[in-house]
Structures are given as structure tokens and as C-alpha cells.
Amino acid sequence: MLYRGMMIFVGLVLLPFVAFAQVSVQPIMSFQDRHLPVFGSNGMVAAQERLAAEVGAKILEDGGNAVDAAVAVGFSLAVTLPIAGNIGGGGFMIIHDAERDEQIAIDYREMAPKRATRDMYLDEDGNVDNETARFSHLSAGVPGTVAGLYLAHQEYGRLPWKQLLQPAIEQARNGIVLDYFLAYLIERRKQRLCAFAAACNYFFDANGVPKKAGDLLVQKDLARTLALIAENGPEAFYRGEIAEKIAAEMQRHGGLVDMESLAAYKALTRDVIRGRYRGIEIVTMPPPSSGGVHLLQMLNVLEHFPLADMGAGSADLIHVLAETARLAYADRSVHLGDPDFYDVPVEWLTSAAYAKQMAATIDMKKARSSEDVAPGVEPRFESDNTTHYSVIDGEGNVVSNTYTLNFSFGSSIAVPGAGFLLNNEMDDFSAKPNSPNGYGLLGGKANAIETDKRPLSSMTPTIVFADGEPWFATGSPGGSRIITTVLQMIINVVDHGMNIAAATAAPRVHHQWLPDVLRVEQGISPDTRAILEQRGHVLSSRSSMGSLQTVGVEDGVYIGASDLRRPGAASVAPGFQTDTD
């Protein structure tokens, strides 16, 4: 592997420097790569927000393992990145435990409340009422984050639970300096956030003026909530004072997350799903995320094509990728749902035989019409949130974690007195067959709303292994684009020999069957676009897609790459925090 060879050299050059100064990147400035990862000698944390990444690096420095750091980062992001970091949402975590040499998935996806019903979002004409499904108290599922992070800590953590929450408590209590991007996002979301008083009061002054970049965002109620969780664990959140506050708010506004639903919430450990791609092992998330299944399914199909020879960014590669994604996302709409309620055919979808069949249907000269693959309808709205972080420690333990409130700021509804926003994850259920959710994704019976069921997700936390050892861990936000974003990361590294930073920066494309549109980022050349159009693709250029947060290890050198598509992300090695107190 060209990249591995390069990294041996980088490692030899860098090792004398990494422990002492961040200028250690200097000796490799002559490499031809346009992008370089951050290097470290004893672990790495990559997250969407620097303060939270630094919290994780400090936990590693203080003797915590990757799971400890991941728990601390999870709580910290709930303070520093309120658009997606959360305790009012849910997510998925993949853990590699080096000592036991095992990988496990933690499912802390939200659950439908006890009184949820299949048709709860249909109006009297039988149409989906999107406003109710996305921005009302009825849009919230039972949050899973506190239970999930606690389960990870109980099974795999080392440091005391309280110690892991302390940085987040301090950040909430003392305040964080609001950066330009978060201030902008808060202002942009004013109408939603101020629909109910609690969230409005947390982010705006009494006259409705938003906090500005440079202002201190103090979150006293959230600090108190986190302190209760630090003291009493999930009991405080699911049965105690915090549960009472959630249930009271729900009762005031016709929501369904009641004390019974909260008490019934369970985070679960699940078996990871595994695949091989050109000799590399991929360990990823099983249902109720669709991410892992379709990542493996698409890699299996793409293995039939000479991607390295086609070349990164070539029309051939983009075409085959789009055609593969078209097939996979069509399957998603029928076959994926919560495996505790629906028999998801994971083995068949990820089998070599099925991949071969699919590969044989791809015409390299002509794009298929999605209508020929299956019928569907046009989406009406799209959001692009969620957040991912990855951690690796000096002992080889790895965590890949994606969690979310669903939309930016979730439902935009906060729990009064408790200081946190609630998810609107119920919109990830299929409210009605063939009616698209916020990401334009369709679903049917497999993902219909049922009591205690978990809505289907696209989150794709993934760990990639080479020669039986963890190589890199990655994941991204981006709704339906998450799966193709992670897919392209793996192809860029494995097929094109890019380092993880170059692989992150490379332009991305996305197809999801319906709408029948090939979405391309800036950086795909006009002549490439013209060839794709000649083959029958309908191209669309909109905002950038995803925000990969990746860590890895190459011959003893730890590497991190944080996507530049959204500001504020950082990869931080232990010992290199700006705030080490």
C-alpha cells in the first residue's frame, strides 16, 4: 500500500517531534499531498467542535481510554454544539476493545413513546402533516444518549463516570465563547427556537436578540441537569427530576414522551456487521441504522469495478458509484427498519451473490432511470445535521460515534428548567408508505411507527481494519448522504491511496435513488459533468455534503482528520490541547 509506505517514512521522520510540539508537521511539508492529517504519538480525538475534542484528548492524557474520552466528548458536545450534540437525542457507537479484541455496537437510538401510533402524523385527508412530525412536541422520540453513553462506560470505561461529565458541567456553567458559525445558525433558526419560550430564553435575550459571536453562552439549567446525571446516572434522566420535567413539558403541549416511556427506554448492545473490501475489513453499524448494511452492500458491488484504474473524480467512477447507490437506496426503502420489529434481510443484502447480481445490471455507458428500479415520489424538504466523532487511544481502543437530534437543533423545543433541546427523530419513521421524510427518504412497513420501535437511521459509524488491526475510524453527519460520504472516504483511502485528510477533502457525489438526481460538490470538473449528463444523469449542485471526523493509526503514528466543510472541527492529540488547565 502506497499510503502505508509513505506513513512509515512519515512516522520515522515525525516520531522525534510529535511528543513535543505541534510544528511537527513541518518535516513532511514537502510531501506531494495537498492535505495532511494531524499527527500524535499517543491517541487522537476528531470532533466537529474543538473544545469538545480537547476535552476528549485531556481525558486520554489523564489515563482514560477511548471509551472514557468518547463519553466525555459526547456530553461536552451537548454543551458546545447544540445544533447536534445532545442529551435529548440518540445515536450509535462502534467500539473496538483492544484487550478483548472484540467489536461491539451500542444502539442508543430514540424509541417511539408508548402511545405512538402508526398514523399519528396523518391529517384528516390522510396526508402527512410535516409540521407536526418535525416541529411539535409529538416529533420527539424517547432520548437515548444518556443511557447509551452510560452503557458504553459501564461495559468499557475506566475512569469514574462523574469525572467524564465534569468538563461539560464546567463548560455549561462557566459558558463557552460563541463562535461566528454557531451564532449565525442560532440567529437563522430564530423563528423555530422562539416558537416556545424555553429554547428562546436559552439562546436569545428578553428582547429576542440572539447572542453574538464572541458572547459567552452560559447554560445554567443544562449545567444542573448534567450535574444530576453525573451524580445519579441515567436514573436522574429516565426516572428522576429530569424525567419529570420532560413529561410535564410533554403534557402541557400534547407530546407523548411520558414517565412510562422514559422508564422503559433501553440502550442495547448489538453485534456489529462486518464486510471485506479488497482485503480490508469494515466493521460497522447494524440496523436500526441502514448505514452499515448499505455501506457494505455498495462496497460489495463496487469491488466488481476497477475503481483505482478509473481514477478519483473520473466520470466512470462517479457513474458507477451513482448507479450502485441508486440500487442500494431503493432497497433501503423496502427492507430496512428496527430489527426488533422487522426481519431485516441483512445477510442477503450484504451477500457477495446479491452484489454480483446488482453489478451485472450496471451499464457503464448509460444511467438507469430510478423509475425502472422502483416507483417513488419527490421529496419536499431536506435537512443536514447530526454529528460524528472518533477516538483512538494509545492502547489501540477505538470508538466511532455518530449521534443526533435529527434536524439542526432537533425539534427546536427545549425542556424548560432542564436546559436541553429535544430531538425530532420521529420524522425518521415512515409516517405513510411512499411519503418522504425530511431527507427525501421513503419507507414502508419495515419502518412504520410502532410503540417502543426505533426509527430507521442512516448513521454509519465505522471502523476499518487492516491486517487485523484498527486502521481508521470514521463517520459523518448528513442525513441520507452519510452512507455515501463514508463510502467515498473508504474508496479514497483504499482504492486511491489517499491519506485520511486528502480523502476527506476530495469532492463528493451522492445519489439516493429518489429523487433521481446525482448531487455533486464543487470540484467536479465541467467536462466530467458533461460526460455524466451525456450518460443520462441529472446533476444538481447544492451545499457541500457531510463532515467526516476520522482518526487512525499508521505504524505507531496516530492520525486525525477533521473535515473543513463545516467550521470549528478539530483533531486533537493528547498533550496538544490549548486548554489543559
Interface with ligand GLY (CB under 6 A):
386, 404, 406, 428, 457-459, 479
Residue 14 or 422 with smaller CB distance to ligand GLY: 422
CB of 201 to ligand GLY, least distance (A): 26
CB of 293 to ligand GLY, least distance (A): 13
Residue nearest to ligand GLY (CB): 457
Residue 176 or 296 with smaller CB distance to ligand GLY: 296
CB of 136 to ligand GLY, least distance (A): 17
Which residue among 225, 284, 386, 484 is the active-site one?
386
Angle ∠(485,490,495) on CA atoms, nearest 5: 125
CB of 458 to ligand GLY, least distance (A): 4
Distances (CA, A) of 353 to 269, 358, 359, 483, 546: 29, 9, 10, 21, 31
Phi, psi of 91 (to 5 degrees): 180, -160
C-alpha closest to that of 46 among 446, 578, 559 = 559
Secondary element (H or E) of residue 135? helix 130-135
* Rounded Cα gap, residues 531 and 546, in angstroms: 25
C-alpha closest to that of 76 among 62, 93, 61, 59 = 59
- Residue whose grid cell is 492529540: 573
CB of 387 to ligand GLY, least distance (A): 11
Residue 171 or 406 with smaller CB distance to ligand GLY: 406
CB of 402 to ligand GLY, least distance (A): 8
Residue 210 or 475 with smaller CB distance to ligand GLY: 475
CB of 311 to ligand GLY, least distance (A): 31
Give yes or no for a contact between 215 and 183, defined as CB atoms under 8 angstroms apart: yes
* Rounded Cα gap, residues 222 and 279, in angstroms: 46
Residue 406 or 485 with smaller CB distance to ligand GLY: 406
* Rounded Cα gap, residues 249 and 253, in angstroms: 6
Residue 426 or 490 with smaller CB distance to ligand GLY: 426
CB of 36 to ligand GLY, least distance (A): 30
At residue 238, the 3 state secondary structure works out as helix
Residue 59 or 456 with smaller CB distance to ligand GLY: 456
Give yes or no for a contact between 442 and 516, defined as CB atoms under 8 angstroms apart: no
Residue 470 or 479 with smaller CB distance to ligand GLY: 479
Name the β-bridge partners of 572.
45
CB of 517 to ligand GLY, least distance (A): 19
C-alpha closest to that of 88 among 257, 286, 252 = 257
Tell me whether residue 361 is one of the annotated catalytic residues.
Answer: no
* Rounded Cα gap, residues 76 and 88, in angstroms: 13
* Rounded Cα gap, residues 161 and 179, in angstroms: 29
Per DSSP, helices labelled H in 311-402 are: 315-335, 346-349, 352-360, 370-373
Interacting residues of 29 by C-beta distance below 8 A, sequence separation 6+:
none
CB of 459 to ligand GLY, least distance (A): 5
Residue 54 or 427 with smaller CB distance to ligand GLY: 427
* Rounded Cα gap, residues 332 and 293, in angstroms: 9
Give yes or no for a contact between 404 and 84, defined as CB atoms under 8 angstroms apart: yes
Angle ∠(91,94,98) on CA atoms, nearest 5: 150
Residue 386 or 547 with smaller CB distance to ligand GLY: 386
Pairing mode of beta strands 539-540, 518-520? parallel
At residue 531, the 3 state secondary structure works out as helix
* Rounded Cα gap, residues 378 and 383, in angstroms: 15
At residue 103, the 3 state secondary structure works out as strand
Percentage helix, strand, coil, to 5, in the chain?
A: 40, 15, 45
Q: Compute the CA torsion angle 548, 5, 471, 160 (nearest 10 deg).
A: -90
Give yes or no for a contact between 539 and 532, defined as CB atoms under 8 angstroms apart: yes
Q: Catalytic amino acids?
A: 386
